[in-house]
Amino acid sequence: MSDLFYWQSLNRAMDAEMAADETVITLGEDVGLYGGTYRVTEGLMAKYGEWRVRDTPISENSFTGLGVGAAMLGLRPVVEIMTINFALFAIDAIINMAAKIPFMSGGQFPMPLTIRMPGGIARQLGAQHSQRLEHTLMNVPGLRIAVPATPQDAYWQLRQAIHSDDALIVLEHELLYFSKGDVNEKAVAPPIHQALLRRSGRDVTCIAYSRMVILALEAAEFLAKEGIEMTVIDLRSLAPIDWDTCVQSVQQTHHCLIVEEDCRFAGAGAELSATLQERCFYFLDRPIQRVAGLDIPTPFNGKLEAASIPRTEDIISAVRQMLGTPGGQS
């Protein structure tokens, strides 16, 4: 058991897979000599050489396309896109190539391609560098999406992604890289797309992913002092979604709150709300509620930026209002 930063757990996962399988390579901007923007590939070029750890030009569509071709020919490339915002330049390689080639080839070409990209709102990076594009990627059949919220899951899910024969995107939140947690490298990992129960409660089910899981747990701790017990489910995956875990919990608590940093309109929360409403209609005491980012470009001003995405107090307020407790409305 080790106490590791999120970025260190990703680094160890990369190191373990590269040591075990010489077909695993990584490529992207600054992944070699610099060790990656968030140090995830630190030390790997010195250990495995520049053929397997490749610095690339600033040309996302080109090097992502190179990853697609390498995967078709039997390698297991891990492409690092410096930020999810730059994935917009690689959208053709991701959507038209990686997601579709296995289907269009009748399975002749599997796609053992992992694409890592940091996302989410960091701190005052401006609207063009603060996008959350889960909603875009979720709407692409053929892509799988993992969203690790803890160092342990970052370690597990990156290794599992590299083992996968499907195109798999690992979304890493920029504000989680220097979060710390226990990592057991020998523990048996749950399936990569299985949701996990982070906290059990009788009154309401809160479903979240990525950094919002951390905020949901903070809210649950606070609410417990008021006698409100909230279940917190960490989705861990946005494509596919583990519906069974979510449905089972909602059937027990009869209340559901969905928390996401992404914009409210047509986001992951909208799909979660629609499907859970269909599957749990007769178990719900009240309509499913959502706490989400505002439908605006992210402001640069620090206070406005913070107000544009869910905060712990927003989750607390939403639960109180749903349950009709003091501070909320019945």
Q: Is pLDDT above 60 for 3?
A: yes
> pLDDT for 231-264, tens place per residue?
999 999 999 999 999 999 999 999 999 999 999 9
Ramachandran class of 144: left when φ > 0, alpha when ψ lies in -120 to 50, beta otherwise: beta
Question: Looking at domain 2-183, what is its CATH homologous superfamily?
Answer: Thiamin diphosphate (ThDP)-binding fold, Pyr/PP domains (3.40.50.970)
Given a contact cutoff of 8 angstroms between Cβ atoms, the answer to whether 305 and 121 are in contact is yes
- For the chain, domain boundaries: 2-183, 196-323
Q: Is 60 a catalytic residue?
A: yes
User: Catalytic annotation on 129?
Assistant: yes
How big is the CA angle at 6 (ends 65 and 80), to the nearest 5 degrees?
A: 10
Report the CATH architecture of 196-323: 3-Layer(aba) Sandwich (3.40)
Q: Each residue of 131-180: pLDDT tens digit?
A: 999 999 999 999 999 999 999 999 999 999 999 999 999 999 999 999 99
| Strands 53-55, 76-80: pairing kind | unpaired
pLDDT tens readout for residues 70-86: 999 999 999 999 999 99
The active-site residue, picked from 60, 80, 260, 261, is 60
- The active-site residue, picked from 42, 129, 226, 254, is 129
**For the segment 16-27, what is each residue's pLDDT rounded down to a tens digit?**
999 999 999 999
pLDDT band at 326 (very low <50, low <70, confident <90, very high): confident
| 2-183 and 196-323, same CATH topology | yes
The enclosing H or E element of 118 equals strand 114-119
Q: CA distances (Å), 81 to each of 57, 76, 94, 290, in order?
A: 12, 16, 11, 30
Q: How does residue 328 score in pLDDT terms, banded at 50, 70 and 90?
A: low
Average pLDDT, the chain: 96
194 by Cβ neighbours in 10 Å (0-12 / 13-18 / 19+) ranks as middle
